[in-house]
Amino acid sequence: MSPQNEAASPRITLESSQRKPHGGRVVARTDANQLLSVSIIVRRKEALHLHLLAGRQISRQEFADKYASDPRDFDQLRRFAHQHGLAVDEASSSLARRTIVLRGTASTLERAFGVTLSDYEYASHPGRRYHGYEGAISLPTEHAPAVEAVLGLDAKPIAKPHFRFHDQATGPAPQSFNPPQVAQLYSFPTGVTGAGETIGILELGGGYTTNDLNNYFQVLGLTAPNVTAVSVDGGANAPGDPNGPDGEVMLDIEVAGAVAPGANIAVYFAPNSDQGFIDAITTALHDSANKPSVLSISWGSAESNWTPQSMTTLDDVCKSAAALGVTITVASGDNGSSDGVNDGGDHVDFPASSPHVLACGGTELLANGTLIAQEMVWNDQPQGGSTGGGVSQVFALPSWQAGANVPPVPAGGATGGRGVPDVAGDAAPASGYNILVDGQSAIVGGTSAVAPLWAGLVALINQQRGGNPVGFLNPLIYSMSAGFNDITQGNNGDYNAGPSWDACTGMGSPIGSKLAALITQPITASATMAGAAAD
């Protein structure tokens, strides 16, 4: 069939791809000859239901056999590409990742997917342009059923890093910590270093230098971890701005590496777009070389910033992680109960609101020697930041939160109810982490620090379990209150801390050794099955 006839054939609109006006300024139509790529997310061979696995983790081979894409669907989409003059990037495509990558000019992609591409400029990114579309994507009727999402036709930056430097102008930090001190205060397991484990870290910009890492860990009296940079969609380790995303990258590596100094670290660098974000997670999950058992994510933005197809796809990817036994720790955001949305309402950050990740909120931590003197909700507003937390307006209440007294869904929410966060840890810049970034010492806080802190703890527990990963923690920890410091003081705006779970600090900050002991105890299949139903 020729491209002209194919274009005239009946088409189906992917309603979940609906993109509202960007809020940016249209600069021009995208150059018709500009070469672009799209990642098509293809349906599974069969639906993945975690509760049917009853807590059992599956191998990559079993995943490929049951829950990857069908080669016949890929063949059909290869025909679609050929009919529209698009090239298939076979090296970047993967049945296990359920991703087939197509490349072509902007004008060719416009015809293939029924969109009009424009270049936008945003006040938050002056001087930088991004192509995008408004409306919805469409596909020919014969090809649409196999397609769950089309990513890459909109390259708008989707996420922000959730870290905050301590403002030196306000004076010295009352009490800052090296990461091993925080691990000691939280009673992380001793006698293990994370050896044999790999911590994955997702980054959407910035970079690290080996010299900085060597100097930092030398000061701590630790051997620098083995760090591998993995390029996704052309992303790369690109340090150079100490006040920009380099601070995020170094915070993540230095915190995770210092609390689990024996673990390897794989850093997945991707462009800041929904395509880059999702491709990075799928790359990490199916990385047969590095094989991360835990993935730390410190980037995100309010649910309202994402298209439904992007949220559904990313959440489904995190469901795959749960089946494969990979824990995903995610920062809950640094803008309190509003999550930085200026509409007077309450919002939560995504992907922290995915019910298949461990959402990490923030506290302010005061110490007396090696003991915690006081711990409260991190809230420096209105001048500063505050831990994100609240109730999803998109994702339903998971069964494992049924007894957590999650507040009602905010006004305007339709199907939501998932409470955020699940856990917490030190995040206040006033009690922040001493790090080294681009040769400069700094004190950094934000929930960005909590995701790698928990990732390091998971790596320690995984080693303690003999390399048997804990995987999807959420169904377990809600019955393990003895493994947490319950935070009952403070608020993040509209939500208050209180006994047990709350929408500021979740279950609380970890008592690592107790939590490890509880997790390593035998867990009944019936309890796991009841808790795993988040799908």
Q: Which stretches within 231-363 are classed as H helix?
A: 246-259, 274-285, 308-324
Distances in Å between the Cα of 120 and the Cα atoms of 18, 134, 155, 380, 395 are: 17, 11, 10, 34, 30
* Residues in the chain, pLDDT under 70: 1-8, 22-23, 124-126, 169, 412-415, 521-535
| 319, 50 contact by CB (below 8 A) | yes
Phi, psi of 438 (to 5 degrees): 50, 45
pLDDT at position 413:
63
pLDDT at position 8:
59
The angle, 0 to 180 degrees and rounded to 10, between the axes of the packed helices 274-285 and 308-324 is 10
Structure tokens at 279: 């491709």
pLDDT at position 3:
45
Structure tokens at 495: 């939500």
> What residues have CB less than 8 Å from 348, skipping those under 6 apart?
302, 303, 332, 333, 339, 388, 389, 390, 391, 392, 393, 420
Residue type, 146: A
Residues in the chain: 535
Cα–Cα distance between 303 and 350 in angstroms, integer? 5
> What residues have CB less than 8 Å from 79, skipping those under 6 apart?
none
Provide the edge-to-edge strand list for the sheet that holds 147-151. 87-94, 99-105, 35-42, 147-151
Give the residue from 224, 225, 217 showing the smallest Cα distance to 178.
217
Cα–Cα distance between 300 and 318 in angstroms, integer? 14
| Domains of the chain as residue ranges with CATH | 3-151 (no CATH), 160-522 (3.40.50.200)
| 323, 63 contact by CB (below 8 A) | yes
Residues belonging to the active site = 248, 252, 448
Q: For residue range 62-99, what is the model confidence (pLDDT) as tens digits?
A: 999 999 999 999 999 999 999 999 999 999 999 999 99
β-pair partners for 151: 39
